[in-house]
Amino acid sequence: MGTQKEREKTILIADDEQSICFFLQRCLQKAGYQVLLSSDGAEALKLLDQRQETIDLAITDLQMPRMGGDELIAKMRERGISIPVIMITADKSALGQLEKMTPYAFLFKPFSPKTITSLVCQALS
């Protein structure tokens, strides 16, 4: 069945807020996904370099210390990593900046478990 294949997918989360990471991890594991956590873009990039073939989707915060989501996406594209990316932010004034990027989707905090799992499912299909 197609849904079984989707449930084996691995999602990389990059967010400096531990509570957001754990919230996303709980939601996505409950939906059957494998989840990798990183505290910023630099750590996420290391994981992508190590496990590129096994990561199907990235969810990243826009603003993080060391390396934000916008820089992470740029470095991913430089390396030829073309997995879908969901960009999350609490800053609605960043919309102009976000429109210049090419992630799969943008999601503004706060969001519900149903919203994130639905968006992830769409991004992976």
The CATH number linked to 69 is 3.40.50.2300
Q: Using one digit for the tens of pLDDT, what is the confidence trace for 54-79?
A: 999 999 999 898 999 989 999 999 99
The whole domain housing 68 covers: 2-124
CB 91 within 8 A of CB 63: yes
Q: Using one digit for the tens of pLDDT, what is the confidence trace for 25-60?
A: 999 999 999 999 999 999 999 999 998 789 999 999
35 DSSP β-pair partners: 11
- Is the pTM here over 0.75, yes or no? yes
Q: Give the chain's domain count.
A: 1
Which residues 6+ apart lie within 8 Å of 121 measured at CB? 6, 31
CA distances from 84 to 19, 67, 99, 121, 125 (A): 23, 19, 15, 11, 10
